[in-house]
Amino acid sequence: MDAKQIRAFLVLAEELHFGRAAERLQMSQPPVSRLIQNLEKTLSAQLFERSTRTVRLTAAGEALVQPARDILLSFELAAAAVKSAGQGEIGHLRLAFTGIATHTLVGRLSKLVRKTHPGIQMSLQSASFALPSIESVADGSFDLAFGHYPFVPQAVETRVIAEETLVVAVHNEHPLAGRESVSMAELADEDFITLPPNPGSTTIERLYTLAQAAGFSPNVVQVAPDSWTILSMVGAEFGCSVTVSSVPHNVTFPNVTFVPLDDAQGPFPLLMAWKKYDDSPALREVLRLSEQLFPASAPPQ
């Protein structure tokens, strides 16, 4: 059976008159009769009793009315779903982001998508390092990613959503906590807490580059798995840590102060990345929303 047969059956069941049913269906009477006959043949059951004066539902026809309504509704819902998917109103989007630095951005985007496009479902995955997330976009494992990327694969397209700088996280009672800024040379005697060494980590690479330029090698006393652990240890006076300027905008830790770090290399971009030529309507709609939410010149927040 198909949608035309089901629709013709329901209209005829309401009208109990082939002429009026044909008029409602905007068809001539013979095609309506053929639709009903084909449906009866498919179901191996007579649905209407016909005479020259009356049309009545049989017991089989009466039993079919509600299931037919359900079937027709399913057809209509399916058509609406296909149309919505094509317009980017529904879909599934996988988003990768790099820890604390992008939590607020992810939250704001997720809220806007849910508010304006409740049919788009977003799966979120946090990672400590940017390189795996950009690779996951390139190979199609994720549809969208936020992070600081030292290089971008050829298969990936990006847009700058904020400019980042470096800050030093120190305990509130540290002598440098009240400073407006600090140079790397002033950190020569400090103990550092860092993330594990990882190729492509902008923060770690800049830490060592700036320290080398200042004439020393950082004394790393602890490697921690994520920024949450690092900041907890800073708050416990275990050492200091270099991180990005968006972190203070995303989280508040007891006993931790963030001081801007002088960096001759200047700001670096926080990027949103997606696979080139991805024609997913849901992705394109989320990218459109992100342009409203994250103007390219906006500061980290």
- Considering the domain architecture, whether residues 73 and 127 belong to the same structural domain is answered as no
Q: Dump the DSSP string for 177-244.
A: TT-S-B-GGGGTT-EEEEPPP-TT-HHHHHHHHHHHHTT---EEEEE-SSHHHHHHHHHTTS-BEEEE
- For the chain, give the mean pLDDT: 87
Question: Which residues touch 229 (CB under 8 Å, ≥6 apart)?
Answer: none
Higher pLDDT, 58 or 117: 58
Q: Is the pLDDT of residue 10 over 60?
A: yes
Q: Provide the CA 76 distance to its chain's centre, in angstroms.
A: 28
pLDDT at position 287 is 92
- Considering the domain architecture, whether residues 143 and 286 belong to the same structural domain is answered as yes
- Considering the domain architecture, whether residues 16 and 80 belong to the same structural domain is answered as yes
Which of 46-55, 98-107, 290-299 has the lowest average pLDDT? Answer: 290-299
pLDDT at position 173 is 95
Asked if 152 and 169 count as a contact pair (C-beta separation under 8 A), the reply is no
- Considering the domain architecture, whether residues 238 and 116 belong to the same structural domain is answered as no
pLDDT at position 273 is 94
| Residue at a domain's end among 56, 86, 116 | 86
| Residue at a domain's end among 86, 111, 143 | 86
Q: Dump the DSSP string for 80-130.
A: HHHHHHHTTSEEEEEEEE-GGGGHHHHHHHHHHHHHH-TEEEEEEEE-S-H
Which of 79-83, 158-162, 164-168, 190-194 has the lowest average pLDDT? Answer: 79-83
Q: Is the pLDDT of residue 279 over 50?
A: yes
Output the domain CATH number for residue 104: 3.40.190.10
| Residue range 152-183, pLDDT digits in tens | 899 999 999 888 999 999 999 999 999 999 99
pLDDT at position 89 is 62
Angle, CA of 292, 294 and 296, to the nearest 5°: 110
pLDDT at position 200 is 67
Of the chain, the percentage scoring pLDDT greater than 90 comes to 50
Q: How far is CA 186 from CA 122, 180, 205, 261, 265, in A?
A: 44, 13, 18, 10, 18
| Residue range 118-138, pLDDT digits in tens | 888 889 888 656 667 888 899
Give the side-chain half-sphere CA count within 13 A for 137.
30
pLDDT at position 298 is 47
Residue 55 lies in a domain: yes
- The whole-number average pLDDT for the span 48-62 is 90
Nearest-angstrom CA–CA distance, 56 and 158:
65
- Considering the domain architecture, whether residues 147 and 170 belong to the same structural domain is answered as no
Residue 282 lies in a domain: yes
- Which residue range(s) make up the domain with 82? 3-86
Residue 299 lies in a domain: no
pLDDT at position 301 is 44
- Considering the domain architecture, whether residues 80 and 214 belong to the same structural domain is answered as no
| Residue at a domain's end among 54, 86, 118 | 86
pLDDT at position 282 is 87
- Considering the domain architecture, whether residues 67 and 100 belong to the same structural domain is answered as no
Which two tokens mark 174? 């540290």
Residue located via tokens 């304006």: 116
- Considering the domain architecture, whether residues 20 and 152 belong to the same structural domain is answered as no
| Residue range 213-249, pLDDT digits in tens | 999 999 999 999 888 899 999 999 999 999 999 898 8
At residue 198 the predicted structure's pLDDT band, cuts being 50, 70 and 90, is confident
- Considering the domain architecture, whether residues 111 and 250 belong to the same structural domain is answered as no
| Residue range 59-68, pLDDT digits in tens | 999 999 989 8
- Considering the domain architecture, whether residues 134 and 67 belong to the same structural domain is answered as no
Of the chain, the percentage scoring pLDDT greater than 70 comes to 91
In DSSP terms, which residues pair with 243 in a beta bridge? 167
Structural domains of the chain, count: 3
Nearest-angstrom CA–CA distance, 89 and 172:
47
- The whole-number average pLDDT for the span 296-301 is 48
